[in-house]
Structure 1
């Protein structure tokens, strides 16, 4: 805005000088200071050529006024330049402040980007951890099912064990009963084994007695010494003894037969 005011003042100065010296003309693309210096030289040249006339005096008066106006404009320009310099200083300070703030914000943005990258890394790590926990959860579910299956099998095994224990107890009872029977059988066998020699002796004695009886009978028949009553008494005694011995032998034989059938 200050620059625009300065440019407007320069244009106004040129227009005023052109009005005072319409015959003096310079290119408009020159800088303002060059244009003023050139215009001053050409105006003085024009005044020397037109010296002595009243118009010259009037022009000199106008030139003097123009110079005063130029001085005022120069002062105004200096004022504008000072204001412009101050404005530029303010703008430079603002620019530095903006650059400092921009640098601070740039640092903050970089830190935010670093934090964002770290957060992305943490999120990725957490996602991997979640996936790992899901897999572990699947394994836990599998182990839980296996544990339930093992508990079921253990219950079955416990039931079977109880059944086996009952069966073993029954078998133990049967074994004890069998051992008792075997012990009784063993005692009976030992008794039979002890009675067997007696039976054999009785049988041998019986055979001898029978042989003796029949031998005596032959002797009596051949000698005719004994009477009929004596012979009958001897025969009765022999018959009683034989009957007893035969009964005893029968009992032994029955006992032996029973042992053999049990064995």
Structure 2
């Protein structure tokens, strides 16, 4: 949806309903039907909420690439208890069926969680709110990954969820994130670029946190000095998120004690 059109809807307080209508329209666009091995494809409307498109090939290839990127940066043999935070309709979660440990998926989208419960029986599914907490015990997880989740949260929500995910990860466990880094600078205005270059988080459409319209852009300085509080930065790979092309991939290791 064009930015100038969104700005017009914003003037009348209608940007949220307008964007939801746009997503429904995208789900109705014709595309090739794909036969898949393993779990079935989710309904098109759910794929659009997760990926911005109902293209089945993109959904499946992107999910597999994201899983492979996780496996390339984390020893899955040492990750017995795993959380897919922001799992949506299982774009990545669907590839964990052979995992020997426990895999949990969490999302605020009730329809997506219901679909996962009916089609990804190997996983435990939880519904979370826009704000913490998660219905999980302290220090119970070896790995949490959140792919293109912090990209759609305001600064306050990012801090709250960073602290909550630190709570549920064991000391020495990992938090793997993908974010909008420098490769997204062409999307920003001159003023926004100046803020980004100064190490400040840039957030657009912050009145719709958690939606695909809300977009956050993370300079490396912000990641290291703010987002990673309570963690050690093990990896910060520009454009390293294979399943979310051009997003940066970050691996954080939970420290034993921290200021967070």
TM-score, L = length of structure 1: 0.17
More helix by share: 1
Specify the structure having the higher radius of gyration (Cα).
1
More strand by share: 2
TM-score, L = length of structure 2: 0.17
